[in-house]
A and B are shown apart, each in its own frame.
Chain A
Amino acid sequence: MKHDIGLAVRRFIGENFLFRDDGDAITHDQSLLDAGIIDSTGVLELVCFLETTFGIEVQDDEMLPENLYSIRAISNYVGRKLESRKIELVA
């Protein structure tokens, strides 16, 4: 599951920020901001992508570096959001 999220995020970043097909140039833990891959408007585009692709709602107070700084952080964050939604649905 998390693997799939990571792949989708990598593909999105590759296509939209690196302008290649695979996004292979970045590692899982590389800081997207420090590497100059994403800037402030890029963060918004990324959030918009996560919301539409995974059907989650990113709250203002979740738009934090710890949730979005790397592909791994993003995958973990989206995974948690999807998990909590599943619990809500069950309850």
Chain B
Amino acid sequence: MRVESFLLESARRFPGKTALIAGATRLTYAELAAAAAGFAAELRRQGVQRGERVVVFLQNSPEAVIAVYGTLMAGGVFSVVNPGTKADKLAYILNNCTARALVTEPRLAGTAAQAKVHAPSVSALLTTPYGFAGGPAPRGAGIDLDVAMIVYTSGSTGFPKGVTMTHQNIVAAATSITTYLESSADDIVLSVLPLAFDYGLYQALMCAKVGATLVLEKSFAFPQVILEKLKAERVTGFPLVPTMAALLLQMKHLAPGMFPELRYLTNTAAALPKAHIQRLRELFPAAKLFSMYGLTECKRCTYLPPEELERRPDSVGIAIPGTEAYVVDELGERVKPGEVGELVIRGAHVMKGYWADAAATERALKPGLYPWEKVLHTGDLFRADEDGFLYFVSRKDDIIKTRGEKVSPKEVENVIYEIAGVREAAVIGVPDAILGQAIKAVVAADEGVTERDIIRHCRERLEDFMVPATVEFRGELPKSENGKIARKELVAA
């Protein structure tokens, strides 16, 4: 099964049902499918061939969803890129996947044009609003072994890595998740998560899979607006990250039972503090709360069945349906309950590798049970309890989780080193009630370099969530025996 059949099948079963609500726009399944088919035909007209990459550089919008499905209908591979991405990183991504087409919107067109200059593979540029009509989809899109998407995620090297997923991978993940969420055509899901984030993207994919309605919002900047939407659209499913939960719980006028239609809440990206779990359950007494854990490389690893939340609030649960999750030691042997080791994931949802990065792929995907099989080594340290429930311990690398986003310290440090007068820089995560972790830069610099200089430069060069919240100056940074800056020592301090 290919991913675009989620949409095509729902358009056949529920042509007049609302598929997507975004701002003032409401599209039925028939309309969404026709628009995606029109997009596919346009890509083909512009020379995009089966298997070629289409980078979608858009805010959450109907056009972004149309581009995702349209690319698949044309047999292409999509990659949604965060609209906060700056030109040189966008160029890096375009070159890394040798994109053939770039889709953008007027507000982002300047950045897109700057990036395109350095990306010779891009021959087609589509800018919203789309000028083409809906129409029949082109033939020959491909089979489900084909690559469907590339999701760029922060790598410890400082350069984003392209997680490569086939149609089969996505169908497996979406099937598993909609199974435990008990998703159905009656669901109305509200998502403020960017489509560039796999958690946000899958809301659009899974809604189409079950014929549900997606209410797509651009941001959570005004929680009140979102809460009114929840009520007005009678939303049944509301995916969160911990930062959203923290913002929500700061609101003064929330009372239990205000959202009786809400059937479930989900949380992933980082663990919810226990106190927040408690307050969410009080505020949404009728809603099931799913604590989940995953990484882009397999989309989702585990979920905690809501009925276990009381007993094991710290656990991220068990493997999602149809997959295996287990803890291994340095030699790859499974460890006993209570022992800490690396979490390994086995299932049809595990990525095929990182695009054009065989070395990184080899580190993440290792031989599995059968000679033809690969399993995912997550780089996260876990332990299991006697009943097999899993607990996150820490990451093996230095990746920081802030606002639900992964940040590579190296990527931020590289940008700080561009500032004249900076001698040494290390970026770490420090605990923060709202963000989970806040980004802090520890810098040794010449006289005259200020905190403001560093933050301003980072804002010009990095996505918002990567910009340090604070800067500490030191005469010198601690070093390890081999002379490398000892980031771990700074974290411990």
Contact = CB atoms under 8 A, between A and B. Distances in A.
A39 B464 contact: yes
Interface string A42-82: 11100000000000000111011100100000000000000
A38 B221 contact: yes
Interface residues of A, number: 20
Nearest to A57: B252
A29 interface: no
A44 B250 contact: yes
A40 B221 contact: yes
Contacts of A65: 221-222, 225
Given A44-B247, A59-B252, A39 B221 contact: yes
A43 B251 CA distance: 13
B107 interface: yes
A41 B452 contact: no
A20 interface: yes
Contacts of B243: 40-41
B225 A19 contact: no
A44 B415 CA distance: 27
Contacts of B452: 19-20
Nearest to B432: A41
Given A36-B84, A40-B220, A40-B247, A64 B456 contact: no
Interface in B215-240: 219-225
Given A19-B459, A41-B434, A44-B250, A63 B224 contact: yes
B455 interface: yes
A1 to B, nearest CB: 26
A43 B226 CA distance: 14
B403 interface: yes
B252 A64 contact: no
B275 to A, nearest CB: 18
Nearest to B228: A61
B403 A41 contact: yes
A64 B403 CA distance: 22
B253 interface: yes
Nearest to B107: A34
A60 B220 contact: no
Contacts of A39: 219, 221, 464
B456 A19 contact: yes
Contacts of B225: 64-65
A42 B459 CA distance: 14
A36 B464 CA distance: 8
A73 B243 CA distance: 26
Nearest to B192: A40
A11 B115 CA distance: 32
Contact of B221 (A19, A33, A60): A33
Contact of A60 (B107, B244, B251): B251
Contacts of B222: 43, 63-65, 68
B435 interface: yes
B84 to A, nearest CB: 7
Interface string A5-37: 000000000000011100000000000011010
Contacts of A64: 222, 224-225
A27 to B, nearest CB: 15
B418 to A, nearest CB: 16
A19 B455 CA distance: 7
A43 B220 CA distance: 10
A64 B254 CA distance: 16
Contact of A59 (B219, B223, B247, B253): B253
B456 A41 contact: no
Interface string B132-175: 00000000000000000000000000000000000000000000
Given A40-B244, A65-B222, A65-B225, 4 more contacts: A20-B456, A34-B107, A36-B84, A60-B251
Interface of B: 84, 107, 219-225, 243-244, 247, 250-254, 403, 434-435, 452-453, 455-456, 459, 464
5 contacts: A39-B221, A39-B464, A40-B243, A64-B224, A68-B222
Interface of A: 18-20, 33-34, 36, 38-44, 59-61, 63-65, 68
